[in-house]
Amino acid sequence: MEAMLYALDQINSDPELLPNITLGARILDTCSRDTYALEQSLTFVQALIQKDTSDIRCSNGEQPIIRKPERVVGVIGASGSSVSIMVANVLRLFE
């Protein structure tokens, strides 16, 4: 996770790499359980549909100031195949 966030910071700080584009991430932990992955996937989709940020909190407890993404362009799967398959099956319903 830290490597991914570092890579995003490096990409976003280089004005020549992706001009006028800012990449971001919403990181959800599946806890290596397919049932929890299903719950997290549904919460993720629901937040995109409703444009709701109420479930996102900063470490100090305040709501963050964020811009909602226009679209999700990718999802990185979990470490286990069964969990990744569960997430993929849910997300493909909302292409």
| Residue 15 within a domain | yes
Distance from C-alpha of 58 to C-alpha of 65, rounded to nearest angstrom: 10
Tens-digit pLDDT string for the chain (95 aa): 889 899 999 999 999 999 988 888 888 888 888 888 888 888 888 877 776 556 666 777 777 666 565 677 777 777 778 888 888 888 888 76
| Residue 35 within a domain | yes
| Residue 73 within a domain | yes
Question: What pTM did the predictor assign?
Answer: 0.58
pLDDT value at residue 53: 57
Count structural domains, the chain: 1
The three-state secondary structure class of 31 is coil
Query: Measured in whole angstroms, how far is the alpha carbon of residue 26 from the centre of its chain?
Result: 3
Structural Rg of the chain based on CA atoms = 15
- Which residues constitute the domain of residue 16? 2-53+63-94
pLDDT value at residue 68: 61
| Residue 77 within a domain | yes
| Residue 58 within a domain | no
